[in-house]
A and B are shown apart, each in its own frame.
Chain A
Amino acid sequence: MAKRIVLDLDLCCGCRSCEAACKAAFKGEARIRHGDIVGQAYLPLACKHCKEPLCMAACPVDAITRDEETGLVTRSAMVCIGCQSCAFACPFGVIDAPLVRHVSQKCSLCEDREDGPRCVVACSSGALQYLSDEEIELHEIGMRMVSKDAFFRRKA
């Protein structure tokens, strides 16, 4: 069953535990990053593992592949030539452009860890969740408003 990292923006407190957890696990190269929306909200950016990944389409050497069963989009470090095409193609800007090891960094949903991605367990406010498509349907993501800013208020 395809599972994804889901962000409930209303709950994010901007502590950046997710980024630190990723960076500590992947030798100083974070694959989830942190955006700051003009001081109003904090937005962790992680790979969405798209159904039709543009990064995969852009890759000239087919280093990026999608597993139809799990929905996981993976990149093979052995095949990657570090051309950055995927980084430019990604509409969410979540593939890291700085090429530390001469290949681009990409979230693998911590497939080496049985209990799911590290950023999700490390999340101190419960904003990041690891859910399947069915669970996402049932979950009221972004329907609860914590921020008191009128611009972001969705539920009184």
Chain B
Amino acid sequence: MKTIDRSYTITKKTVCPFCSFGCEFGLVFNDFGVSGVEYLKEGSSEGRLCPRGSAAAFYLNHPKRLSMPVKDGKTIAWTKIVKDMKKALEKPKSVAVTFDRNITIEEYHALAAFCRNAGIEYTASTYCEPEALLRQFLETPSTLNDIDNAEMIVVVGDPFNQAPMISKSLINWELKARNNRLIVIDSIRTHTAHFASDFCQVTAGTEALALLGLAGETISGVDIAAVSGLDGSRIAEIGASFKAAKKGVIIVCLSFAHCFDPLLLIEALSRLQQYSGKNVMPFVEFAGFEGNHYFGSIIELAKRKKVKHIFNFGELFPFYYPQLAHALKGVNMYVTSPIKQNGYTTLPVALNLEKQGSLLTSFGKKKLEQAVTPASGARTVAEILSHISDGAGQEKPFSAPSITVDVKAQAASLAQKARMSKKKTLTLLGEKIAYDFLGLLDDPVLKVNPADAHELGIRQSDTVAVKSKHGETALKAKLTNDTAPGVVVVPAENPDVRGVFDYEIMNDIVCFIPTEVQLWRKE
């Protein structure tokens, strides 16, 4: 075999920034910079990486990477931006500081110190995904051994697609003994559902009720079996045998806009945890931080013109949630982002792979070595803070207000929403799939039931327009019986697709919910 000279390549070990599993991988450098990733056998995932991890080098060298601050669509000098931000800070009561993914623990502490020093009161996380609320289950972390030792596993969602890192453990567990039971609760027939011994296909958006049913809860005025579309005796049998199983685990992978009430879902999970005495293993894309408030109250303050400027440190907001732009009209937004964001003052920021610090992961704190120098023009959050503030203040961690869930009232309203959505023509659900990230593979597809497609004159692979009250987008259709009639499913990684979803502010938390949509075939 011919030999290839590899002497000019260098591999630097780093931690994957895309979800809280914190898989280790190596970044490979050649004479021209980062050339790709290397799979390290000694890493916590034994070298296995999901599509997002494999795409890390794409992400660093993305052609849309920003190198200068942008204001009103034009590049502007850092000094001018800093001047603007300092001016805004003269009235700290009108400034809100928010943050999302792509900040390290050290940067979070620096933000806390900055806010205290500058007198900023309104702070919140802008990571508006339901899994951010699963943080509470990370306090008693599960390990992959929990899967190996379990007799019965309850899965909510689709870990094979969303968190492929656990799929080997899950498959080996299922192969080990024939009496192992894998229960999958989801409203669509996913990859994971094909592997399940019991697949509970619930009515779209009602996972929370099915979980309450498993936990043996009865709610007056709400017929759990009828609303979720499951057999009552089957729910009771599964719940009882899960409680009786010596060892078990509840794996949760929450998708975007999949459930009508994410708060009730989290409450149902903790009730099932208490009832069965089993651990919850959450898949958390971002084991994030919390502020003094939730983002819903910042939106409310912005509407009342109390907040006039928002400084967002992270990478997703507002790019990922275009429908929130309408609610934040009139607010002066300064966002840090690696790519250009139209309509907002954007500051180029260094990515996690370009920083030194530590990351919060599902398996504890992980140290992050600086693998790459920040891209040209990009600055770290700490650098930006040192520009706009005069000195370091005393750091004091934020504490978010506690959430109270009124199970009876929220279950009744969820049942009402589920009944209403059945009467409507089509309900749009979101699905998270790792391979959709950065459009690395194919174009995203819209899953639609053949019965609905036939009625609308849509054929396989047609381009279909999807419209809701928030926006419109076009996707390729895939006709499949995996989705129930009246339900349409789209992968929710692309901001254009995310922008279609409706949201509701519950307990000051922004919750994206299944949305009524119209479909038609696009010529």
Residue ranges of A at the interface with B (Cβ–Cβ < 8 Å):
11, 13-17, 19-21, 23-25, 30, 34, 39-40, 42, 67, 69-70, 72, 111-112, 114-115, 118, 121-126, 144, 146-149
Hey, which chain B residues are within 8 Å of A123, CB to CB? Answer: 48
State A144–B177 Cα separation when bound (angstroms).
12
Q: Is B393 an interface residue (CB 8 A)?
A: no
Contact (Cβ within 8 A) A21 B167: no
Question: Does residue B317 face the partner (Cβ distance < 8 Å to A)?
Answer: no
Give min CB distance, A10 to chain B, whole Å: 9
Which residues in chain B, 423-466, are within 8 Å of chain A measured between CB atoms?
Answer: 434-435, 440-441
**Top 4 closest A-B pairs, CB basis?**
A20-B51, A124-B164, A15-B164, A13-B160
Query: Bound complex: CA of A30 vs CA of B41, how far in Å?
Result: 23
Can you name 16 extra interface pairs (CB under 8 A) apart from A17-B48, A23-B54, A148-B194?
A15-B51, A15-B164, A17-B54, A17-B164, A17-B434, A19-B51, A19-B441, A20-B440, A67-B1, A70-B1, A72-B1, A112-B4, A122-B39, A124-B49, A124-B167, A125-B164
Identify 19 residue pairs between A and B in the complex whose beta-carbon atoms are under 8 Å apart, listed by A's number.
A13-B195, A14-B160, A15-B161, A15-B167, A15-B434, A23-B441, A24-B55, A70-B1, A72-B1, A114-B6, A122-B47, A122-B54, A124-B48, A124-B49, A124-B165, A124-B167, A144-B175, A146-B174, A146-B175
Contact flags B184-220 to A (C-beta < 8 A → 1, else 0): 0000010110111100000000000000000000000
Interface range for B: 35 or more
Q: Mark B53-65, 1 if CB is under 8 A from A, else 0.
A: 0110110000000
Report if B37 contacts A (CB, 8 A): yes
A147 touches B195 (CB 8 A): yes
Chain B nearest CB from A65 CB (Å) reads 11
Inter-chain contact B194/A149, CB cutoff 8 Å: yes
Contacts of B386 in A (CB 8 A): none
Contacts of B54 in A (CB 8 A): 17, 20-21, 23-25, 122
Instruction: Find out whether the CB atom of B55 lies under 8 angstroms from the CB atom of A20.
Output: yes
The answer to whether the Cβ of B481 comes within 8 Å of any Cβ in the partner chain is yes
Assess the B167–A13 pair: CB atoms within 8 A. Answer: yes
Q: Is the CB of B191 within 8 A of A42?
A: yes
Assess whether B168 is in contact with A126, with CB atoms less than 8 Å apart.
Answer: yes
Instruction: Evaluate contact between A146 and B171: CB separation under 8 angstroms.
Output: yes
Contact, CB under 8 Å: A121 / B191:
no
Please determine whether B435 and A13 come into contact, CB atoms closer than 8 angstroms. no
By a CB distance below 8 angstroms, the chain A residues around B519 are none
Bound together, the chains give a CA A151 to CA B15 distance in angstroms of 41
Q: Is the CB of B164 within 8 A of A115?
A: no
Nearest Cβ distance between residue A121 and chain B, in whole angstroms? 4
Contact call B441/A16, Cβ cutoff below 8 A: yes
Q: Which residue of chain A has its CB nearest to the CB of B5?
A: A112
List, in ascending order, chain B residues with CB within 8 A of A118's CB.
39
Set of chain B residues within 8 Å of A111, measured between Cβ atoms: 1-2, 4
Q: Which of B4, B49, B172 contacts A21 (CB 8 A)?
A: B49
Give, as a whole number of angstroms, the nearest-CB distance from A34 to chain B. 8
State whether B1 touches A112 (Cβ < 8 A). no
Alpha-carbon distance between A17 and B191 when the two chains are bound, in angstroms:
14
Bound Cα distance A111, B2 (Å): 9
